[in-house]
Amino acid sequence: MFSFMKNLLGKDQQKRSLEDLKKEIQEESTIDLASMTSNEVEMDSNGGPEKSATKAEKIRTELSLSPIWESELDSEKKYTLRFLQAELPEMVPGMISVTGFSMIPQPNGMTVAMFFRNATNKPVRIKNVGLAIYLDDKPFARMRVDLSDMEAIPPHSSRPWEVLFPEESYLHDNFTFSRWKVVMKAGRNSHVWPRTLELDPEMEKRMTDRQKDRLEALTQSLPLVPINTVEVTGFDIRKTEEGNLVVAMLFRNGLNHDYHPEKLKFTISDSDGDVVATGSLDASSIRVKPGNSRPWLIVFPPKFVKKPDADLKRWALSVE
């Protein structure tokens, strides 16, 4: 516990300047409390009088320590946390948020210190939510966290807490980044993360090692899919000696039922906007389960390739 203090004070426990400490604060992730489920949060009817605020007003939060932090931290560390909390932005009433301020590699994972913030008029207990670390806006680690031990956050308050992201929560091993942030995943989501990758054995046999590598990287970097939509992303393209154009794509299903199209029209364009290849194909063999991703290969014979000499270093795929 309190790994972040070693980071904030430095290896030699030398006190860093307040301006240096301010640079530790990362981007805020907010969620409307009204969208969260009873499994994720609960409003506490006890804990003192309510505070009032109109929607037009902004909430400035105050530091609130859990009982265990209150008893373990000395006055200097409490002052440091109070200073960092005072630098956080004002909040819109009715929101719950998380703001990271320290990320420290550990032998068994990554410890992240963050402020959980309550801009509602009642004490709030955050129980079970998803948390993710993003490096340069790309997901690096994610897991569900039980925060019951943090206890209720008073109205208009920020509560510091540490969470260990074990190595098994990592999505990749790339630690090179210039920015990081913590994102809270909770509520009645408007988006779906197609976590499960469906890879047909026959399809895998036809894929090159390059296509497999690109597919793995793609599934970890793409953003969420809006609910009730299907997104198709091209991730590899190559020409064969026979003049065929082979295109690899990923179907991501945000519907609440199987995606099973009958016929689709595919168009490939180059960086100049010129059509390289186009054609309507029987798509009845494509089936993607709800919330899943599935790669697919299509082959354009030479007669469908309209620009055989196209530069395909940059290309775009459209599907109708």
pLDDT at 90 over 80: yes
Q: What angle do CA 137, 312, 223 make, to 5 degrees?
A: 20
Q: What does the pLDDT read at residue 13?
A: 39
The answer to whether residues 181 and 294 belong to one domain is no
Would you say the pTM of this structure is higher than 0.75? no
The answer to whether residues 155 and 114 belong to one domain is yes
- Give the pLDDT mean for 72-84: 90
The answer to whether residues 273 and 310 belong to one domain is yes
Beta strands in 107-255 (DSSP E): 109-118, 124-126, 128-135, 138-146, 157-166, 180-185, 191-192, 196-197, 225-226, 230-239, 245-253
pLDDT at 15 over 80: no
pLDDT > 70: what percent of the chain? 83
Total number of domains in the chain? 2
- Distance (Å, rounded) from C-alpha 5 to C-alpha 69? 12
Place of tokens 């793609």: 218
The domain boundary residue, chosen from 137, 166, 188: 188
Q: What does the pLDDT read at residue 67?
A: 93
For the beta carbon of residue 221, count every other beta carbon within 10 angstroms.
12
pLDDT at 238 over 80: yes
The domain boundary residue, chosen from 167, 188, 209: 188
The domain boundary residue, chosen from 188, 216, 250: 188
Kind of pairing between the strands at 62-63 and 128-135: unpaired
The answer to whether residues 60 and 79 belong to one domain is yes
pLDDT tens, 104-147?
A: 888 999 999 999 999 999 999 999 898 989 888 778 888 889 99
- Distance (Å, rounded) from C-alpha 185 to C-alpha 196? 18
Radius of gyration of the chain (CA): 24
Q: What does the pLDDT read at residue 307?
A: 94
Place of tokens 């790994």: 3
- Give the pLDDT mean for 252-273: 91
